[in-house]
Amino acid sequence: MSPFTRRTFLSGAAAAGGALIAGNHAARASAHGIAARTQRVPLSREDHRVVIVGSGFGGGVAALRLAQAGVPVTVLERGLRWPTGPNAETFPHARSPDGRFLWYGSAKNVFGRPIDVPAFTGLVEAVPGENMTALCAAGVGGGSLVYQGMTLQPAEAVFASQFPGALDWGLLDRVHYPRVARMLHLAVAPDELIDSPNYAAPRAFRDSARRLGLPVSKIPMPIDWNFALDELRGEMAPSYTNGDGAIGVNNGGKFSVDVTYIAEAEATGLATVQTLHQVTDVERASDGRWTVYVDRIDTSGAVVENKILTTPTLIMAAGSMNTTRLLMRAAASGRIPDMPDALGDGWGTNADRIYSWTTFDQDFGPAQGGPVVFGSLDWADPSRAMTVIQASFPPLGVDARTTVLVGYGVSDARGRFVYDGARDDAILRWPHEGDASIQSHIDPRVRAIAGPNSLVVDTNAVFPSTWHPLGGANMGTVCDLEGRVRGQRGLYVLDGALIPGNCAACNPSMTIAAVAEHALDSIVAADVGTII
């Protein structure tokens, strides 16, 4: 039996050179948090033209567009590659997560209760803060490995309510959002699939929302839906059609960043991805270049090599939490002097809310197809814009009459990171009332869709968490609109940390990628050959 109940599951998957460096080099490593300070592991040095920390949406875009411009790039990814294919067993099963689910350094409390699994370089890291836990992905492809796949472009008026006015939505709409859509091969679920017995829950959501007069539409997804149809025909084991792909789709057919942006970047011959490379510190060297301190680890998290990389160009794309924490530690210690004062401010949850919906008068079936088919996008009023979608529930072997509803909307609530010298870490502080303003609209909407003969549980009230942490190195205050960190030549932020706390009633993946595409157009035109 899985250690997760329905409730707890939803309350939320040879050294270079072979030499030991002694004397001053070892002492310098010790001063900067390198694991060699206590272990006799090799220490090597490398020089690179561009180093990208992280391989999610921002890092993947940066790697591809720079490589296409003829610039060699090195991508550092702390996690593993997760190759998929028909009937693969790469990812853990949502009904019984194992060590593959959890990052070895993660807090154990992920869904409101501790998870006891062996140490492994798994898919998800829980980073606790004050009143909020952020869930962060690890692995080549970043969050695209474990996200459900909703790929939404904000409406112009809603976008304008959350982003700096100087960021040209019209240009993003004409050029960059469509470019992302093509890269991710977006498609909506076919009616043949929706009409099958396994998709009773999406149909129930659609019908209920329509009865209320709410807008309902199919959600664009980065999925080849033929894989789901093949599952229905018995040609491969279920993954899409029984909700088992909630923490990674084993069968393939999902156009995640690793098989799109990263694969195309590597195909140029100019992009190298180094897995199991965990960045521990970053520093500006005396000559103006950037120094990146890395632990090369094994799959248990044990350090097998220390590396010191130098580069004139450092692109931070480790996600909102880890990019911000690395930069704040560097600023607090003086390793990067004169960082913008606003670093660490403007952080948001994207106003995420996850509910379980148990119905007493409908059968959803023991196998619940997904991952996401329908959503209700209510964006007419930018000040109250919200989205509610239905997502599949993992298979339990019985009809639990339960599915998942997810809401997110506009919110001006923001938290901030504060450096804690005793812990040498930046700690998130989120206000207790958080996104209460928009949640006062999302919550009754979700309950109305569920209907009177239902039990609706707000899992975020049980365990406050977000899968969509945003901000910390915001555009307009810490960075310019293209991710250049103010006053720090050659340092860029191109991930969720750049986004100012909220993605305008949409999940953030498409906007992070589109903003990165926009940034790389400028960076390739203006910075390659000068800064880069």
pLDDT in tens, 315-332: 999 999 999 999 999 999
Of how many residues is the chain composed?
532
Separation between Cα atoms, residue 496 and residue 509, nearest integer Å: 9
Q: What is the pLDDT of residue 39?
A: 58
Spell out the alpha helix ranges (H) of 97-198.
156-162, 169-171, 177-183, 191-194
Residues 6 or more apart whose Cβ sits within 8 Å of residue 296:
274, 276, 277, 278, 303, 304, 305, 306, 307
355, 449 contact by CB (below 8 A): no
| pLDDT, tens only, 2-49 | 333 433 433 343 222 322 222 333 333 434 444 444 458 999 999 999
Question: What is the predicted pLDDT for the residue at 3?
Answer: 39
What's the confidence (pLDDT) of residue 478? Answer: 98
User: Rounded distance, CA 287 to CA 38, Å?
Assistant: 28
Helices H / strands E in the chain, number of each: 14, 20
Amino acid at 153: Q
Query: Do β-strands 290-297 and 303-311 pair in parallel, antiparallel, or remain unpaired?
Result: antiparallel
- Going from the C-alpha of 363 to that of each of 191, 216, 401, the distances in angstroms are 20, 21, 6
Radius of gyration for the chain, computed over Cα atoms and rounded to the nearest angstrom: 22
> Tell me, what's the pLDDT at 27?
37
N-terminal to C-terminal alpha carbon distance within the chain? 54
Burial class (CB in 10 A: 0-12, 13-18, 19+), 213: exposed
In this predicted structure, what is the pLDDT of residue 13? 31
Q: Are strands 386-391 and 372-378 parallel, antiparallel or unpaired?
A: antiparallel
- Confirm if 284 and 441 have CB atoms less than 8 A apart: no
Q: What is the DSSP letter of 190?
A: P
Q: Tens-of-pLDDT digits for all 532 residues of the chain?
A: 333 343 343 334 322 232 222 233 333 343 444 444 445 899 999 999 999 999 999 999 999 999 999 999 999 999 999 999 999 999 998 778 899 999 999 999 887 778 889 999 999 999 999 999 999 999 999 999 999 999 999 999 999 999 999 999 999 999 999 999 999 999 999 999 999 999 999 999 999 999 999 999 999 999 999 999 999 999 999 999 999 998 999 999 999 999 999 999 999 999 999 999 999 999 999 999 999 999 999 999 999 999 999 999 999 999 999 999 999 999 999 999 999 999 999 999 999 999 999 999 889 988 999 999 999 999 999 999 999 999 998 888 788 899 999 999 999 999 999 999 999 999 999 999 999 999 999 999 999 999 999 999 999 999 999 999 999 999 999 999 999 999 999 999 999 999 999 999 999 999 999 999 999 999 999 999 999 9
96, two tokens: 């019984």
Tokens for 377?
A: 């996008």
Residue 45, Cβ density class (10 Å: 0-12 exposed, 13-18 middle, ≥19 buried)? middle
d(CA 26, CA 34): 9
* Mean of the per-residue pLDDT values of the chain: 92
> Which DSSP letter does residue 255 get?
-
Cβ–Cβ < 8 Å for 319, 56: yes
On whether the CB atoms of residues 329 and 66 are closer than 8 A, the answer is no
Residue with tokens 């704040």: 328
3 state SS of 280? strand
Q: Which residues contact 302 (CB under 8 A, 6 or more apart)?
A: none
pLDDT in tens, 181-226: 999 999 999 999 999 999 999 999 999 999 999 999 999 999 999 9
Q: Closest Cα to residue 202, out of 375, 68, 62, 69?
A: 375
pTM (global) more than 0.75: yes
Q: Supply 488's token pair.
A: 């720090």
Distance CA 274, CA 67 (A): 16
